[in-house]
Chains A and B, each alone.
Chain A
Amino acid sequence: MSEPIIKFDKVVKRFGDLTVLDELDFQVEQGEKVTIIGPSGSGKSTVLRVLMTLEKINEGVVYIGGEPLWHESRNGKLHEASEAHLRKMRNQMGMVFQQFNLFPHMTVLRNLTEAPVRVLGMSKADVRQRGEELLDLVGLSDQKDKYPHQLSGGQQQRVGIARALAMRPRIMLFDEPTSALDPELVGEVLNVIRRLAKEHDLTMLLVTHEMHFAQQISDRVCFFDKGKIKEQGTPEELFKAPKEARTQEFLKAVLNPD
């Protein structure tokens, strides 16, 4: 097998006394669609935030495409990464946030074009065209001149997905993309993600509570507990025949909430 595109090697992340990632080992292959499930506070978001360089790590090494994310090697030794290195690494990833985090003072299209013009150095015309294509992809071509607050939550999140895609990432990170949505709006967002999941080359890492959806799109599901992967496997294995008692307990609680 080729080099994993994402690799956590004994990664520790602490907030004060609280250990959120506990010597985590975790790998994702190029093009793989991996879902992370687990109880609140188990460190699911932290995994994504560490990858997106929103959260530093305390110990261990994270590799993206074989290259350390939070470190740079000089003279065969690993040193803390410079901002220039982080910028380079960050360009390979895109993130979709639970709260969308769209820029409220920019139109929908501007949300998609702002960063590519500045960061990728593409021409405005190209970026605009690409932005319109992406809006088409998420079914919002007619909304491009609106401001985020004029859209429904589901539409806003679709803009969020398009905005992340505009940077042409190799890896897409989704942190509970539908948790902030009214139930009737969840479907339209999941449909967009489902369509993305068909892209063979795109690596996807998704934290979600939508178990049915996870089952449909994932190559692999990881159950997180206390900052570690307690159990992982294909959706079949994990949902139909969980081995660990913690996993069984968790699945029972989320699948039959009463």
Chain B
Amino acid sequence: MFFGIEWDTSSNLAFALSILPILLIGLWVTIQATVLGFFIALILGLVLATLKSAPTRLISWPAKAITEFIRDTPLLVQLFFLYYVLPDYGIVLPAFLTGALALGVQYSAYTSEVYRAGLEAVAKGQHEAARALNLPSPRTFTHVILPQAIPRIIPALGNYLVSIMKDVPVLSVVTVLEMLNVATIIGDRTFNYLIPLSMVGGLYLILTLLASSGVRYIDVHLPKRGLSLK
């Protein structure tokens, strides 16, 4: 029994059907961790990208160093760091939040690069034309630069959403009951790992395919009006 749900070991099929609701609870946690982690990565990445493009090196250099550091250390190390070190400083977060935060921090290094690359890909001539027309800088950013950067940024961000989802099982090591953790616990208790783990694989496959096609849908239907993104 797990989450108050009994399993039925009379046959493989019955077992699979009986643990499906349990795995779906884990799946729901996986989705929540993905969405929250992605959200943190979007915001933190934007902050990092802004700092990195700051005109003074006093700000841009540390931001670049942080990005590089995050990128070059494994997610697991960051996760342990947050999980074991933060409480020493009086910050005690539930395992789920710590996990989502670790995902968000790790991926903020990538999203910040996506933002930066997207903005830099807009031709220099666009800035110059806007300046020659005396468009105010905020207007130039929101109406000239961003509309040309966003169609490049969104698909790349979408790919990281899928990556985050596939990294969620790492959170099982700090007791987050995401789908993989749930499956191994079922395996521990029933001595049948094959079925729950296969189901995790299957559910992940479905989830990834759905997310990828969602990303592709957005990519195709994103208004690109006149932009060629070669």
Total A-B Cβ pairs within 8 A: 65
In Å, the complex CA distance between A119 and B133 comes to 8
In Å, the complex CA distance between A165 and B218 comes to 38
Q: For this complex, into which size category does the number of interface residues on chain B fall?
A: 20 to 34
Over the window 77-99 of chain A, the binary record of Cβ atoms lying under 8 Å from chain B Cβ atoms (1 yes, 0 no) is 00000000001001101110101
Scan residues 205-241 of chain A and give those whose CB is less than 8 A from a CB of chain B.
Answer: none
Closest residue on chain A to residue B128 by CB atoms? A54
Binding site for B on A (CB under 8 A): 52-54, 87, 90-91, 93-95, 97, 99, 101-106, 114-115, 118-119, 147-150, 163-164, 167
In Å, the complex CA distance between A58 and B119 comes to 29
In Å, the complex CA distance between A101 and B127 comes to 9
Is B77 an interface residue, CB under 8 A from the partner?
A: no
Q: Are A119 and B135 in contact (CB under 8 A)?
A: yes
Secondary structure class of chain B's binding surface, majority of residues: helix
Binding site for A on B (CB under 8 A): 123, 125-126, 128-136, 139, 143-144, 147-148, 224-228
Q: Are B143 and A114 in contact (CB under 8 A)?
A: yes
The answer, among B132, B224, B226, B228, for a CB contact under 8 Å with A90, is: B132
- What are 28 A-B residue pairs whose CB atoms fall within 8 Å in the complex? A52-B131, A52-B132, A54-B128, A54-B131, A54-B132, A91-B134, A94-B132, A97-B128, A97-B132, A101-B125, A101-B126, A101-B128, A101-B129, A102-B129, A103-B126, A103-B144, A104-B226, A105-B224, A105-B226, A106-B226, A114-B133, A114-B135, A147-B225, A147-B226, A149-B228, A163-B133, A167-B133, A167-B134
In Å, the complex CA distance between A52 and B127 comes to 13
By Cβ-Cβ distance, the 7 closest A-B pairs, closest first, are A147-B226, A115-B133, A101-B125, A101-B129, A95-B132, A104-B226, A119-B134
Q: Are A104 and B133 in contact (CB under 8 A)?
A: no
- Whether A105 contacts B139 in the complex (CB less than 8 A), given A53-B131, A94-B132, A119-B134, comes out as no
The answer, among B128, B135, B224, B227, for a CB contact under 8 Å with A115, is: B135
A141 to chain B, nearest CB (A): 19
16 new A-B contacts, CB < 8 A, other than A105-B224, A105-B226, A163-B133, are A87-B134, A97-B128, A101-B123, A101-B126, A104-B227, A105-B148, A105-B225, A114-B133, A115-B130, A118-B135, A119-B134, A119-B135, A147-B226, A149-B226, A149-B228, A150-B226
